[in-house]
Amino acid sequence: MSASFAYRRRVQFAETDLAGLVHFSMFFRYMEEAEHALWRAAGLTIARAGELTGWPRLAASFDFKAPLRFEEEFDVYVNVAHVTRKTMEYTFRIACGETHVGEGRIKTAFVSKRPNEPMRILELPADIIERLRSAAGD
């Protein structure tokens, strides 16, 4: 099994719903939090207010295998899985102790977003990809 970047997190009360479990939409936030922790581990930050570039999501998915509950601690493992000239896909695996909680994907692109212009997809910056891959052990 290959290396991954690991991000540890605890379930907060407001993240649960009346079914007593973490709401399914939260897993997309957990994946993104792990992505941003990977950027920090690579000495980078993914966003600054007012910037004219960004990393919007093209697609996101998650397969739910086991629920998470209030106050449980879990790990989100991130890898940089597929990189093309203009898109990057992360894969994620969530585990709570021995329990496999699920796995997901987020596909992203690098865009220019000038005021009053449509977003324009740019080539991925090679140095950023290299640093992320390296921080993820890929």
What residue ranges bind its own copies (CB under 8 A)?
12-14, 16-21, 23-26, 28-29, 32-33, 36, 40, 45-50, 54, 56-64, 67, 69-71, 113, 115, 119
Q: At closest approach, how far in Å is the CB of 12 from its own copies?
A: 5
| Cα separation, 123 vs 126, whole angstroms | 9
C-beta of 64: minimal distance to its own copies in Å? 5
User: Cβ of residue 41: shortest distance to its own copies, in angstroms?
Assistant: 13
Measured from the CB atom, is 4 or 103 closer to its own copies? Answer: 103
Could you count the other beta carbons within 10 Å of the beta carbon of residue 32? 18
Give least dist CB 37 to its own copies, A.
9
Note the Cα 99 to chain centre separation in Å. Answer: 20
Question: How far apart are the C-alpha atoms of 101 and 112, rounded to whole Å?
Answer: 35
* One-letter amino acid of 27: F
Q: How far apart are CA 136 and CA 29, in angstroms?
A: 19
SS3 83: strand
What is the Cα–Cα distance from 134 to 28, expressed in whole angstroms? 23
Nearer to its own copies, 102 or 136 (CB): 102
Nearer to its own copies, 1 or 98 (CB): 98
From 137, 114, 109, 133, select the one nearest 44 (Cα to Cα): 133
**Shortest reach from residue 138's CB to its own copies, in Å:** 22
Q: Which is closer to its own copies, CB of 28 or CB of 83?
A: 28
> Residue 3 or 51: which CB sits closer to its own copies?
51
